[in-house]
């Protein structure tokens, strides 16, 4: 009997990021992030409103210049959770369902994260440039998004 192939560590953690994205409360972008070091998950994050504030799926979007500003991004929430709980993110990898935006890229740089693995593209050349200039390894790991995952750039 043949055993199914085990997924690589990158495939394993990016799949978990997609599972985390299912908790997103902003239907404009269901994004998930997982921060990992030495093959151990440190924190997770998904798109959602700040703690204690209403979510998009409860009160609607707060749009400014075509972007919903009610929510924090998945990467931001993962980094904030690390800070809140005293988890060191230095020399870690962040797995994200979408390429980080420029603001998230800057947070990733300052959080000491050294590698970004992402599945879906996001139209932000500046974020890629900042990450590259900061010496952060940026890897696109294309993965078919689940049919119910919605993304609006």
What number of other Cβ atoms are within 10 A of residue 6's Cβ?
8
Rounded to 5 degrees, φ, ψ at 138 are -115, 120
**What does the DSSP assignment read for 40-105?**
EEEEEEESBPPTTSPPHHHH---EETTEE-SSB-HHHHHHHHHHHTT---TT-EEEEEE---HHHH
- Assess contact for 20 and 46: CB atoms under 8 A: yes
Strands 115-120 vs 67-68: parallel, antiparallel or unpaired:
unpaired
The residue annotated as part of the active site, out of 75, 125, 133, 139, is 75
Determine whether 75 is an active site residue.
yes
Q: Which residues carry out catalysis?
A: 75
């Amino acid at each position: 009997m043949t055993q199914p192939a085990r997924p690589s560590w990158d495939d394993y953690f990016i799949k978990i990021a997609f599972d985390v994205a299912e908790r997103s409360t902003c239907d404009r972008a269901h994004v998930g992030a997982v921060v990992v070091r030495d093959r151990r998950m440190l924190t997770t994050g998904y798109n959602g409103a700040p703690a204690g504030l209403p979510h998009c799926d409860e009160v609607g979007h707060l749009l400014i210049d075509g972007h919903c500003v009610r929510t924090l991004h998945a990467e931001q929430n993962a980094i904030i959770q690390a800070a809140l709980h005293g988890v060191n993110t230095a020399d870690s990898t962040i797995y994200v369902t979408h390429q980080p935006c420029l603001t998230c890229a800057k947070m990733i740089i300052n959080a000491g994260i050294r590698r970004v693995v992402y599945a879906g593209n996001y139209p932000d050349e500046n974020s890629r440039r900042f990450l590259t200039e900061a010496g952060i390894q940026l890897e696109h790991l294309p993965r078919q998004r689940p049919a119910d995952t919605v993304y609006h750039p």
